Structure 1
């Protein structure tokens, strides 16, 4: 710790934030307090909203419009609400940054009714969203738009449509989830098949994606210019655009901050320290979204990298079979987290990931290169994307085979917190 002062500071700050979240609750965390729309409107009330569009999603049966900086009129009362979601079947052409007026009925997200069920209310609460409105009465009041974000949004949607057109609905949606983090159009059976086999992580934008997008360009630019600074700026700009396009999820924030530390170390001629970068990214993540401390994705994302720093080096010194070290080290550290959040463990996930992870680099490389070639109109782009389709077929067959093996899923239930503490103490 003496040689890592920033790591010490980050750990102290992280402990303070965690204490505020666990013991302070709503006194310190504004997302846990009733929002204005929860105080001044009831389920089914007719309201009028004036807000700014900051995101759009197209679902199978409706369209989701995310609004921020909202002024709301309800029951002769006017109040402000930071964020809200509009569900609609109307199709006015909206752009990021447009101001719109919406009239509709408000409703609220439901809490989990049984232990282990998806808690819809808490999921949106972490994002600062406390209500939703169903409406087809949408008017644009200000056509001013954020040109950069709007173009990135349009580019992402066109990219997803191109993949679905060239690879088919099922495989194209799966590759869109891998490259763009866009899971809304993905086949539900395919998604569940990946999750129960312990490879659902390939659908999350992770450090592997950002390393390919950022570090790849950084190294190419560095060799072409002979300058660490020019390479870092080029890679950093591309990575920022990619992050703005796909959104700031837990794993994206972590990978982005660690990338900045990596490039910063190269530019300044200093040693890159992974534990310090990991701690700094954790502080930034929970500093922006404190409730992510209750999010399973946060612990899985940071736990996997923490295993790389701690458990895996020990296993590599002790085991002869080096290929098993990474999968075993990560799983040993994450088993309690997986059990606590999902109540079961995919027994063969370590062996399955020995096949899945090496091929992921091929999927990312061929997916991105093939996409850009195809979007420029060159026919070879379709052939490159065909390689991704073949690999997805291999993923499917491996998952179907694995799930039929004896004891493929060990359902152990949620472990007691004291047992989890003892487990990590022993580890």
Structure 2
């Protein structure tokens, strides 16, 4: 029924279906238990039946499909079972101990954080909440990751959007299992002398040292904010106007560590560590070293969901490259998605997760066909042609989803991509060198000045592109059904291209 080579894809699809079912409908646990027992018995019976056949029966695949849908449902159940705050009593004043887990971008009136409740009244808890500290005129030290606080306050539900066309922040936080918030004045909170020691906290303190080292070399606030976004995964300090320029230029993905950054780092590591291949079992040693360095970078960037996703994805791709088979590359990508969803099912509803995997999938599958359209003799022209086809492949893959979520299309995205992406490897590589030398206090001034100028030049170019208003299309109506039809057409088109049937492609286009 299913081709063996595509089994990981089907299993991941069934897992995702189960996650969606449980997220929207919340299936009764007893029903899940009964169905699970029945499927287990059917699977055993089907296995004994198939021993007499050369190929598995359709029933075996059908049962497997239902089992993986059930696994998807159970994975969501497991992730939601720790929700320990009683909704009925949540709206009375509680004695709460909480720890800062993540620093968010501040709003006009509040400093915002994601936090974890450690204890509520006399009960231990592990509930994620949103915390808003009201800004005041006193320059108090801001809370940092792993700081622990005590307050007596009322937990409130997340506010819904004021109008139906506004971004639904409440629904977004639901996918992160955040249902409650605290709005606090600084006077209402007591900071304890105790501090937790989590990996995120250690990473935060390392980044703080890096920023202190960089400030000695007179980088501007704007340059520092971009360096933090590109290399340390922290973009909460980026100026609102600059961030909007990157959005309008179709280059906002550059400011968030994603598959693009990790892919470039993987390429750089693959090139720099190539001499190791000459050693005995050199390729395996190089692979293990690449995986270690990728995850070290993820740790430095704060182990945020987007960074963990990107590094997981490119760890799988590195393994696929090691096996040197295109199909292994696709299966490795799909398997990374499978295990991420298995342990973090709510990633499925994250726009960054969806966009990252679609972009990489279309680069792997579509770009090899586009590159064959033209083969210029000049190596320089061919290099830029490769970059153009990569950019176009990724944009085709994410376009329907981007229109559905953001209703905006930056027409000059390929211009910003063609100019910045060729130099992004230089910006990332030189940036890592700048950080290392700054920490050692041996960074030459001319390198610091040159790097600051490079960042400033990139920002100026992005600003120029973003102000070409005639090429930015706003308020594009793109429904979920239209998006689905668009992707169905794309996948059928890809399938025909893979089969290399010219006649079928013509029929498809007509």
Q: Same fold (TM over 0.5)?
A: yes
Deviates more, 1:153-162 or 1:135-144: 135-144
Counterpart pick for 2:236 among 149, 163, 184? 184
* Structure 2 residue matching 1:352: 3-state secondary structure: helix
With the length of structure 1 as denominator, give the TM-score of the two structures. 0.83
Partner of 1:335: 399
Counterpart pick for 1:243 among 289, 292, 298? 298
Per-residue deviation, 1:250: 4.9
Per-residue deviation, 1:196: 1.5
Classify 1:245/1:114 alpha carbon distance in 2 versus 1 (closer, same or farther; 3 Å): farther
The whole-number CA distance in structure 2 between the counterparts of 1:25 and 1:399 is 48
Partner of 1:3: 5
Partner of 2:209: 158
* CA deviation string 1:234-275 (max 9, x = no partner): 3333332332332444542333223333444577x5646222
Q: CA RMSD in A?
A: 3.5
The whole-number CA distance in structure 2 between the counterparts of 1:37 and 1:167 is 49
Classify 1:26/1:132 alpha carbon distance in 2 versus 1 (closer, same or farther; 3 Å): farther
| 1:417 aligned onto 2:480 | yes
**Counterpart contact for 2:84–2:125, Cα < 8 Å:** no
Unaligned runs of 5+ in 2: 30-72, 377-384, 491-510
The whole-number CA distance in structure 2 between the counterparts of 1:39 and 1:383 is 62
* CA deviation string 1:325-350 (max 9, x = no partner): 22222222222111111111011111
The whole-number CA distance in structure 2 between the counterparts of 1:23 and 1:93 is 38
Counterpart pick for 1:112 among 155, 161, 165? 161
**Counterpart contact for 1:213–1:238, Cα < 8 Å:** no
Deviates more, 1:165-174 or 1:352-361: 165-174
| 1:305 aligned onto 2:305 | no
Partner of 2:120: 72
The whole-number CA distance in structure 2 between the counterparts of 1:155 and 1:247 is 10
The whole-number CA distance in structure 2 between the counterparts of 1:385 and 1:288 is 42
**Counterpart contact for 2:257–2:306, Cα < 8 Å:** yes
* CA deviation string 1:27-66 (max 9, x = no partner): 8556889862643222xx5322124554456858765554
Counterpart pick for 1:357 among 421, 424, 430? 421
The whole-number CA distance in structure 2 between the counterparts of 1:111 and 1:326 is 39
Partner of 1:14: 16
Classify 1:357/1:39 alpha carbon distance in 2 versus 1 (closer, same or farther; 3 Å): farther
Classify 1:364/1:37 alpha carbon distance in 2 versus 1 (closer, same or farther; 3 Å): farther
The whole-number CA distance in structure 2 between the counterparts of 1:358 and 1:65 is 35
The whole-number CA distance in structure 2 between the counterparts of 1:334 and 1:259 is 18
Counterpart pick for 1:326 among 361, 366, 390? 390
* CA deviation string 1:95-116 (max 9, x = no partner): 73x6553334434432222344
The whole-number CA distance in structure 1 between the counterparts of 2:409 and 2:196 is 50
Per-residue deviation, 1:361: 1.0
The whole-number CA distance in structure 1 between the counterparts of 2:203 and 2:334 is 30
* Structure 2 residue matching 1:254: 3-state secondary structure: helix
Partner of 1:296: 351
Deviates more, 1:192-201 or 1:102-111: 102-111
Question: Equivalent residues in 2 for 1:32-47 (5 A)?
Answer: 36=85, 38-42=87-91, 45-47=92-94
* Structure 1 residue matching 2:470: 3-state secondary structure: coil
Per-residue deviation, 1:168: 0.8
Deviates more, 1:118-127 or 1:13-22: 13-22
Q: How many residues align?
A: 418
Partner of 1:82: 127
**Counterpart contact for 1:99–1:140, Cα < 8 Å:** yes
Classify 1:426/1:229 alpha carbon distance in 2 versus 1 (closer, same or farther; 3 Å): closer
Classify 1:116/1:295 alpha carbon distance in 2 versus 1 (closer, same or farther; 3 Å): farther
**Counterpart contact for 2:310–2:356, Cα < 8 Å:** no
Per-residue deviation, 1:220: 4.7
Per-residue deviation, 1:17: 2.9
Deviates more, 1:344-353 or 1:13-22: 13-22
